[in-house]
């Protein structure tokens, strides 16, 4: 990239008013040195925005081998060409950095309205390097940037921080912030905005390492589009499809993402008691129909017609909850079935603690389940875990451990580092690799709520995800477990490499547009292409052309990971999933047959046997 030094607003190019603000702000701490860079049409056409733009910036500007929690790492907040428009769910922003949890490329996405605020303030992306000398807050308003002291915000929860920043600056500001876990640099800390989270992979820890407690943005520059009438028509079609689809019009608004929990359990794919089995006998007690008794309000991110978010309140019992967002499926599963717990009040309280202190619920649930299995097997004693008795099903122990992890106190000082580092430390201290075998992760990122022994494609998706064990980087569960798009046999490996690649490419496009994944239960890339073409005038003209953006982005993030030293040897799954047959349910007796799927995956991707994109593939995608 070519940096152009000038004052905000001086840059004029053909992208402004075509879904883009037209410029990128590079901010170097501690002196808040600013460089305004023009976003060129060629970059927009190749990478679109969001994840793609963030990957492009990170790859070009980060030195290989950089410590993720050092001042030399780069933290990127990227918007997309549809962010801030009338396209349905077009509210999202993307946080891109090198992950302190995995050492891989990291993109994590968040709803709310901060992305819209950043775009309206005049920027398609904010790129932060260096580190502040004191805890600070970044204020961005109509192209102007101010770094302010934030010592008064120290130790505040995410909810307290956002409320205080808005009180100080005015309600028109949109805020992204971290909790105490981010301040500590915890590798499982996220970036939060309006109780939504860019949660996975530790972006909040990177933000904390840069001395930033909060970023507030406000602007008066409304997002324009290339062809207003064509865009209005495309947006109307997309909204109509969402309003007519069973999932987006009825299931998600009524039961949130937890609408799928009982189905996943029936297919034998609901990871239970640290992935020891795929069926939870008490699944009906934590299904969406039961959570409706605790939800007091349905909510939605800005510009979203789906309203999947819920607000839970627990007024009675030992676990009082004044206000918590959701919980969603992944949080209910990880703090519930994965730990053998069906008490909704305990799950809600644990979820509240994670959100307030700013940590990822999926990672936290996995950590607690890991500790529980180690304790039950005699590998950990009460004195190792602050006198607790963390057995599966013990809701008191679960909530107590979550509180320690969230606050970084007691045994939580170790546990907040994720299951990979926990297991490595215990294995080294006690000279026993059994601690490593019980840690369920890929490349350091704890696994989500689908057991791949019951959905082979999900296993391949976990192994090849660019940010580690993630369900959203190749969501084949829609076909394999939920029967969407004609369905796919979850126990067979044939065709799964192609299916995973298609889902990965598609998701990379979605994450580069500024739209939410949930919209794509109703939409296809055809509707995306219509929205993007009319908004930007970039002229993709076919679904295949815009899918190539996703393929390009996924190859670029692969190049980043290769450059950081990751090889095909890292595209693996935990030993439990490869060697321990499923105990019960429809997938009983199955393990993940990864090797043949992975070999075919590399071939179809145009990568060599070591998982490295070939020169021919890079030439084909314009990345050479």
Q: What's the CATH architecture for 23-218?
A: 4-Layer Sandwich (3.60)
What is the pLDDT at residue 9? 42
Gap between the Cα atoms of 75 and 326, Å rounded: 28
* pLDDT of 148 strictly over 70: yes
Return the closest-CA partner of residue 249 out of 13, 438, 440, 523: 523
Give the pLDDT mean for 245-255. 93
Could you count the other beta carbons within 10 Å of the beta carbon of residue 382?
11
What is the pLDDT at residue 10? 43
On whether the CB atoms of residues 255 and 328 are closer than 8 A, the answer is no
Gap between the Cα atoms of 204 and 208, Å rounded: 6
Could you say which of 3.40.47.10, 2.60.120.10, 1.10.599.10, 3.30.70.580 is the CATH number of the domain covering 451-621?
1.10.599.10
Dump pLDDT digits (tens) for 13-29: 689 999 999 999 999 99
Both ends of the chain: CA-CA distance in Å?
Answer: 15
pTM for this prediction:
0.96
- Do the domains spanning 258-438 and 451-621 agree at the CATH topology level? no
Helix pair 496-513, 525-536: axis angle to 10 deg:
30
* pLDDT of 99 strictly over 50: yes
Gap between the Cα atoms of 361 and 365, Å rounded: 6
Q: Which CATH number is associated with domain 258-438?
A: 1.10.569.10
Dump pLDDT digits (tens) for 557-582: 999 999 999 999 999 999 999 999 99
Dump pLDDT digits (tens) for 286-307: 999 999 989 999 988 888 999 8
Instruction: Compute and round to an integer the Cα radius of gyration of the chain.
Output: 23
Give 1's pLDDT tier (boundaries 50, 70, 90): very low
Gap between the Cα atoms of 599 and 432, Å rounded: 32
Dump pLDDT digits (tens) for 448-463: 999 999 999 999 999 9
List the chain domain ranges: 23-218, 258-438, 451-621
* pLDDT of 93 strictly over 60: yes
What is the pLDDT at residue 128? 98
Q: Which is it for strands 136-141 and 23-28: parallel, antiparallel or unpaired? A: unpaired
């Amino acid at each position: 990239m070519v940096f152009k030094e000038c004052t905000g607003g001086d840059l004029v190019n053909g992208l402004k008013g075509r879904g883009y603000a037209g410029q990128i702000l590079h901010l170097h701490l501690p002196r808040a040195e600013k460089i305004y860079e023009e976003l060129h049409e060629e970059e927009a056409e190749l990478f679109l925005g969001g994840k793609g733009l963030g990957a492009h910036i990170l790859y070009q500007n980060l030195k290989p081998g950089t410590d993720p929690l050092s001042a030399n790492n780069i933290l990127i907040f990227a918007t997309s060409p549809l962010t801030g428009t009338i396209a349905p769910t077009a509210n999202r922003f993307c946080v891109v950095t090198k992950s302190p949890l995995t050492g891989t490329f990291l993109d994590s996405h968040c709803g709310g309205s901060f992305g819209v605020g950043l775009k309206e303030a005049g920027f398609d992306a904010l790129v932060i390097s260096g580190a502040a000398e004191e805890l600070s807050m970044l204020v961005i308003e109509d192209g102007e940037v101010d770094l302010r002291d934030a010592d008064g915000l120290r130790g505040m929860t995410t909810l307290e921080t956002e409320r205080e920043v808005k009180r100080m600056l005015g309600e028109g500001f949109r805020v992204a912030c971290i909790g105490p876990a981010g301040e500590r640099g915890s590798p499982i800390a996220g970036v939060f905005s309006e109780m939504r989270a860019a949660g996975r992979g530790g972006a909040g820890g990177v933000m904390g390492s840069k001395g930033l407690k909060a970023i507030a943005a406000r602007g008066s520059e409304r997002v324009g589009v290339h062809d207003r009438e064509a865009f209005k028509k495309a947006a109307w079609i997309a909204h109509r499809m969402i309003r007519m689809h069973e999932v987006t019009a009825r299931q998600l608004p009524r039961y949130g993402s937890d609408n799928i929990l009982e189905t996943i359990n029936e297919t034998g794919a609901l990871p239970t008691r640290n992935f020891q089995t795929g069926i939870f006998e008490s699944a009906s007690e934590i299904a969406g129909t039961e959570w409706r008794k605790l939800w007091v309000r349905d909510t939605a991110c800005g510009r979203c017609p789906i309203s999947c978010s819920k607000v839970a309140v627990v007024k009675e019992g030992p676990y009082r909850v004044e206000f918590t967002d959701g919980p969603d499926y992944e949080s209910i599963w990880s703090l519930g079935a994965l730990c053998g717990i069906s008490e909704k009040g305990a799950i809600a309280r644990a979820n509240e603690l994670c959100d307030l202190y700013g940590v990822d619920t999926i990672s936290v649930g996995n950590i607690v389940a890991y500790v529980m299995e180690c304790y039950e097997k005699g590998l950990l004693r009460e004195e190792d875990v602050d006198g607790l008795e963390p057995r599966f099903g013990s809701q008191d122990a679960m909530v107590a451990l979550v509180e320690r992890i969230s606050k970084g106190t007691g045994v939580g000082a170790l546990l907040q580092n994720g299951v990979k580092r926990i297991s490595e430390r215990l294995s080294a201290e006690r000279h026993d690799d059994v601690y490593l075998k019980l840690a369920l992760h890929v490349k350091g990122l704890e696994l989500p709520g689908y057991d791949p022994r019951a959905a082979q494609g999900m296993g391949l998706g976990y192994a090849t995800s660019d940010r580690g064990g993630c369900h959203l980087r190749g969501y084949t569960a829609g076909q394999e477990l939920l029967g969407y798009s004609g369905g796919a046999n979850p126990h067979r490996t044939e065709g799964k490499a192609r299916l995973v690649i298609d889902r990965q490419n598609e998701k990379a496009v979605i994450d580069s547009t500024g739209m939410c994944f949930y919209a794509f239960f109703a939409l296809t890339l055809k509707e995306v292409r219509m929205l993007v073409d009319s908004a930007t005038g970039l002229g993709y003209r076919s679904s295949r052309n815009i899918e190539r953006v996703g393929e390009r982005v996924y190859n670029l993030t692969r190049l980043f990971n290769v450059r950081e030293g990751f090889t095909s040897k890292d595209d693996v799954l935990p030993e439990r999933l490869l060697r321990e047959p499923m105990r019960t349910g429809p997938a009983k007796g199955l393990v993940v047959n990864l090797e043949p799927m992975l070999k075919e995956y590399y071939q179809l991707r145009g990568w060599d046997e070591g998982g490295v994109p070939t020169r021919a593939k890079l030439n084909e995608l314009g990345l050479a």
